[in-house]
Structures are given as structure tokens and as C-alpha cells.
Amino acid sequence: MKIAFVGKGGSGKTTLSSLFIRHLAANEAHVVAVDADINQHLGAALGLDEAEAAALPAMGAHLPLIKDYLRGTNPRIASAETMIKTTPPGEGSRLLRVSEDNPVFDACARTVRLDDGDIRLMATGPFTESDLGVACYHSKVGAVELCLNHLVDGPDEYVVVDMTAGSDSFASGMFTRFDMTFLVAEPTRKGVSVYRQYKEYARDFGVALKVVGNKVQGPDDLDFLRAEVGDDLLIGVGHSDWVRSMEKGRPSRFELLEADNRMALQALQDAAEDSYGLRDWERYTRQMVHFHLKNAESWGNEKTGADLAAQVDPSFVLGERRAGAGVPAPA
Ligand SMILES: Nc1ncnc2c1ncn2[C@@H]1O[C@H](COP(=O)(O)OP(=O)(O)OP(=O)(O)O)[C@@H](O)[C@H]1O
Ligand SMILES: [Mg+2]
């Protein structure tokens, strides 16, 4: 299951991602958490101290390794240099599994010990001012997109991405890679305006989008959100003293999280599971090809000097049967 948290700056994406990850760990799910936000705070929200968070490897710095591994023996991908963030897997490509060990996780993931179990954490790496809007920023987020497109995830395996709602994810197709996108919105006009923009992009691609109200203070706030986003409102989360004490550096055990908030997290998990149950791998593969062709044409062919459309393996469908390197999929 692939899940994204998006929303306006400061809405609570990182806080809710981290709570959701803790909740999943408490439910014994296998979790890979990915910090793909401009502000890299997921590690801290999961309890890493400053030095530990700063020592997280940056996916952006390991792109050549990621590409070389995923490319495997795929004859359509001549070299890592011609592999762009949207290059889809094909026969011979290596796929990733949430619960396995592989060189990509070795290089880019670190184990984080939570109260209720271990999870893996990966991070794009910090974005500097000069990254924004240029190729470097795209390649950092691109590393995540490549991994998502090469990942075969089962029902009890979760990838949770803390993400910006920025235009980069729309250009590349990143926003279509999730079974469920939780848009975190405070009950304010600005909060819901990000929702409208996201919804607009998502509409044509069948993206499952649910609004999670955050810092909701009462029925008035919920009424406001419901009036603005209708049935897309999943649930509202209130102020959490548990979160506040963690931010004071006095974390308490996760089992002490407020009961209302625990129930909200379960509602998120239920919604994600329902949506995963509807996953159509063929459509998922078709969409990655769509965005690859679009990116190839708009900049990729020119940048690599190759015809990147030729990377598409027309008979390949990502899916469970493809799991396990070298095992041919039944026709
Ligand atoms: N439900 C909550 N209860 C208590 N504090 C909260 C809650 N949600 C968010 N906060 C606090 O609000 C602040 C912003 O939250 P957070 O960092 O999660 O937002 P964000 O959307 O990830 O922001 P950014 O855009 O900077 O990445 C943090 O200090 C966080 O602890
Ligand atoms: Mg954040």
C-alpha cells in the first residue's frame, strides 16, 4: 500500500505521517517511511535526535546506485544515465519489496526503532534554496518516484510518504503513485484551497484523495470542512497533547496517544486498505508509462540524447506475480 500525506505548509503533514507510521507499527505492519518534503522533519517526528536525523542518507545522493540496481538486466534501458525518474520497469528490471533487504535500502534506508516495532526510514535529503525549481530538486524527488514505480507492495506492507503538494509531483506523475492521498487541511480557507488545486490535478487520473482535518477544535471546524470539501472529508484530528509533549522533548509511549486520535488513525488505515483493495495494477502501469512518455518528450529525450519512449516494455505489468527476481510471470 502506498500512501501520501500532502497539504499546505505547516498543516501537519509530518505530524500526521509520523503518527500514522507509529499506528501502523503498533498494528504490526511492515513500513517504509519516506521523507520527501522540502522541510525534512519526518525523522525528528519519529523520535530521531538531531544528529541521527542529520546522518540519514540522502536518496538524491544515491541516484546512480538506485538506477543501476533497478535497471537490472532490462535490455531496453541501456545505462543508468538514460534512466530518468519516470523510466518504467520492464522485463529484466529489479523490483523492490517493502520487507526485503536490498542494496537500495542498504544505501538509503535506516531502521528507526519505535515503541511498537521497527520501521525503515528513507529521506530525499534536504533541499537547498538553489535546488528549488531546478533539476537537482527534481532528481531528489525523482528517486522516490523511481522506487515507487519499481515497488511491489502487499496488503500488510506500507510505504508512507511525507510530501509537498508542489507542482513537481504533478509534472512527473508522482501524485498518481498512491493508493491513498491524505490531504491534511486546517479548517481555514487557505487549507482547503490546496485541496481544490490537488483535486483538480487528481480528477483525470482517478487519484483517491481524502481530506484529514487537522487542529480541529470543534463541530464548527468540522462543519466548515464538510461544507468546503463534502464527502472527501474523512475525519478531523484535534490538538494532541501527546504531540505537544513530544515536541517538548518529553515523549510518552505511543499507547498513551489520545483515544480520539487513535481512532482517527484507524480510520485512515481503513480508508487506505479499502482503496488498496481496488488497486488495478494494469492501470497503475499504464499511468507510469503515460507520464514517462510525457517527460521523455518534454525534456528527457533531449537531456539524455536517447529515444526514451523505447524504454517502455509494452507487455510488462507491475504486480505481485513479478515479485522475486528472475521468476518469469505466467502469461
Ligand atoms: N494535531 C496536532 N496536535 C498538536 N500539534 C500539532 C498537531 N498537528 C500539527 N501540530 C504542530 O504544528 C506544527 C506544524 O506541523 P507539521 O510540522 O507536522 O506540519 P507540516 O505540514 O509537516 O509542515 P511543513 O510544511 O513545514 O513540513 C508542528 O509544530 C506540530 O507539532
Ligand atoms: Mg513537514
Ligand 1 atom closest to the CA of 11, numbered from 1: 21
The total number of structural domains that make up the chain: 1
Provide the pLDDT confidence category of residue 37 given band limits of 50, 70 and 90. confident
Q: What is the CATH number of the domain that holds 194?
A: 3.40.50.300
Beta strands in the chain (DSSP E): 2-7, 30-36, 96-97, 109-114, 117-123, 151-152, 157-163, 180-185, 209-213, 233-236
Provide the pLDDT confidence category of residue 141 given band limits of 50, 70 and 90. confident
Determine if ligand 1 sits within 6 Å of the CB of residue 10.
yes
What is the distance between the alpha carbons of residues 287 and 280, in angstroms, rounded to a whole number?
11
**So what's the pLDDT on residue 329?**
46
Ligand 1 atom closest to the CA of 240, numbered from 1: 3
CA nearest ligand 1 atom 14, residue = 10
Determine if ligand 1 sits within 6 Å of the CB of residue 194.
no
DSSP state of 78: -
Q: Is residue 67 a part of any domain in this protein?
A: yes
Report phi then psi at 212, rounded to 5. -110, 110
**So what's the pLDDT on residue 130?**
53
Determine if ligand 1 sits within 6 Å of the CB of residue 244.
yes
Residue 103 pLDDT exceeds 80: yes
Name the residue among 147, 167, 169 with its Cα closest to residue 83.
147
pTM for the full predicted model: 0.94
Q: Is residue 43 a part of any domain in this protein?
A: yes
**So what's the pLDDT on residue 324?**
47
Are 320 and 153 a contacting pair, CB within 8 Å? Answer: no
* Residues constituting the chain: 331
Cα angle 199, 203, 207; round to 5: 85
Residue type, 175: F
**Which protein residues have a CB closer than 5 Å to ligand 2 (ion)?**
13-14, 37, 39, 41
Query: Mind listing the pLDDT tens digit for each residue in 244-278?
Result: 999 998 889 999 999 999 999 999 999 999 999 99
Q: Is residue 192 helix, strand or coil? A: helix
Higher pLDDT, 129 or 288: 288
Ligand 1 atom closest to the CA of 247, numbered from 1: 31
Residue 164 pLDDT exceeds 60: yes
- Residue in 8, 14, 21, 161 to alter for ligand 1 test, most ligand atoms within 8 A of Cβ: 14
Q: Is residue 161 a part of any domain in this protein?
A: yes
Are 105 and 30 a contacting pair, CB within 8 Å? Answer: no
**So what's the pLDDT on residue 150?**
98
Q: Is residue 85 a part of any domain in this protein?
A: yes
Residue 41 pLDDT exceeds 70: yes
Query: Mind listing the pLDDT tens digit for each residue in 177-197?
Result: 999 999 999 999 998 999 999
Rounded to the nearest whole angstrom, what is the distance from the C-alpha of residue 320 to the centroid of ligand 1? Answer: 36
Mean pLDDT calculated for residue range 136-165: 87
Q: Is residue 327 a part of any domain in this protein?
A: no
Mean pLDDT calculated for residue range 111-128: 90
The domain in which residue 203 lies consists of: 2-322
**So what's the pLDDT on residue 11?**
94
What is the distance between the alpha carbons of residues 155 and 261, in angstroms, rounded to a whole number?
23
CA nearest ligand 1 atom 12, residue = 12
What is the distance between the alpha carbons of residues 299 and 295, in angstroms, rounded to a whole number?
6
- Residue in 5, 11, 13, 15 to alter for ligand 1 test, most ligand atoms within 8 A of Cβ: 15
What is the distance between the alpha carbons of residues 298 and 139, in angstroms, rounded to a whole number?
16
Rounded to the nearest whole angstrom, what is the distance from the C-alpha of residue 214 to the centroid of ligand 2? Answer: 13
**Which residues, 6+ apart, have CB-to-CB distance to 123 below 8 Å?**
34, 35, 36, 40, 42, 43, 56, 57, 58, 59
Determine if ligand 1 sits within 6 Å of the CB of residue 44.
no
Q: Is residue 122 a part of any domain in this protein?
A: yes
Ligand nearest to the Cα of 243, by number: 1
Higher pLDDT, 168 or 120: 120
Residue 322 pLDDT exceeds 60: no
Determine if ligand 1 sits within 6 Å of the CB of residue 15.
yes
Mean pLDDT calculated for residue range 234-249: 94
Determine if ligand 1 sits within 6 Å of the CB of residue 183.
no
Determine if ligand 1 sits within 6 Å of the CB of residue 11.
yes
* Locus of grid cell 537500495: 104
Residue 231 pLDDT exceeds 80: yes
CA nearest ligand 1 atom 25, residue = 9
What is the distance between the alpha carbons of residues 297 and 291, in angstroms, rounded to a whole number?
10
**So what's the pLDDT on residue 172?**
82
Query: Mind listing the pLDDT tens digit for each residue in 196-228?
Result: 999 998 899 999 999 999 999 999 999 999 999
Computed over every residue of the chain, the mean pLDDT equals 91
Q: Is residue 330 a part of any domain in this protein?
A: no
**So what's the pLDDT on residue 327?**
42
Provide the pLDDT confidence category of residue 129 given band limits of 50, 70 and 90. low
Q: Is residue 331 a part of any domain in this protein?
A: no
Ligand 1 atom closest to the CA of 39, numbered from 1: 27
**So what's the pLDDT on residue 12?**
96
C-alpha distances in Å from residue 202, one per residue of 130, 133, 144, 228, 321: 28, 21, 19, 17, 28
H or E segment and range at residue 143? helix 135-149
**Which residues, 6+ apart, have CB-to-CB distance to 15 below 8 Å?**
45, 214, 240, 243
